[in-house]
Amino acid sequence: MTSPVNTTNYADMGLTTHTAPTREIKKELGQSDFLALLTTQLASQDPLSPVDNKEFISQMSQFASLDSLQTLVNRFGELSNSLTSNQALQASALVGRNVLIEGNEGYLMNESVMAGQLNLDQTTTNIRFEIKDPAGQVIRSIEVGTQEAGDIDFIWDGNNNDGERMPPGNYIVAAYGQVGGSTEQLKTSMVARVESVNLGGSEGRILLNLTGLNQIDFNEVKEIG
C-alpha cells in the first residue's frame, strides 16, 4: 500500500513564496553612479588615514569634467538632429523647383529653354558660347562681346544655328573668352529641375535627383529659383 505524500500548503500558513527580482546590469556609469561611488568612498574611508585633499579635489574635478563633457555631447547630438531635420524640410520643398549648380551640362525639356549663368572673375572680352549636342558637335554659336566681372545670366532657346528646334536631352554649354590676351574656357553654372529628394543618403547626406542629370548633394546648390 502506497502512503500519501505530505505536502505543505504555505498559503494556509500565511506564507508566500518569493522570487528574487531580476537585476539590471549597467554597462555604463552615469552621474548618479559616480556620486554614489564617491559618497561610499568617503563614508568607508579610514578615519586615521582620510582621503588626501588633493586626491579628493582631483576626483571632483574628474567628475565635473565628465559631467560637462556628457552635457556637451548631448547638446551637439540635439543640434545635429535639428540641423538635419531643417535640411530635410528645406530639401523636400525643392521638388519641382529649379536650382543653380556649378557645371556646364544642362537638360533641354520639351517646349522649354535651357538657362544658366556665366561666372566671371574679371572683365573678359570676345566671349563666345558654344552649345554642343550629346555627340559633342557644336549646334549653336553665340557671340556676346565683352562683359565685366560678375555673374551673368544666359538663356538658350533650344534652337540650332539654322533656327531648328533641337530634341529634348542633355546639352553642353561651353563658354570661351579672352583673359589677359589668351583665350580661356570660362566658368559656368546651370539651372536644373529637382525631380525628387533622397533623405537616406550615406552619412546622413541629403541628395537631390535632377531631371536628366546626375544626383547631387544638397550642399552643392548655389541658388534656388
Of the chain, the percentage scoring pLDDT greater than 90 comes to: 48
Residue by residue, what is the 3-state secondary structure of the chain?
A: CCCCCCCCCCCCCCCCCCCCCCCCCCCCCCHHHHHHHHHHHHHCCCCCCCCCHHHHHHHHHHHHHHHHHHHHHHHHHHHHHHHHHHHHHHHHCCCCCEEEEECCEEEECCCCCEEEEEEECCCEEEEEEEEECCCCCEEEEEEEEEECCEEEEEEECCECCCCCECCCEEEEEEEEEEECCEEEECEEEEEEEEEEEECCCHHHCCEEEECCCCEEEHHHCCEEC
Band of the pLDDT at 190, cuts 50, 70, 90?
very high
pTM of this prediction?
0.61
Asked if the model's pLDDT at residue 144 lies above 60, the reply is: yes
Q: Which domain holds residue 82?
A: 51-92
User: Do 76 and 134 fall into the same domain?
Assistant: no
User: Do 108 and 192 fall into the same domain?
Assistant: yes
In whole numbers, what is the pLDDT of the chain averaged over residues?
A: 79
Q: How many domains does the chain have?
A: 2
User: Do 218 and 193 fall into the same domain?
Assistant: yes
- Single out the residue in 75, 92, 109 at which a domain terminates: 92
User: Do 102 and 81 fall into the same domain?
Assistant: no
User: Do 149 and 191 fall into the same domain?
Assistant: yes
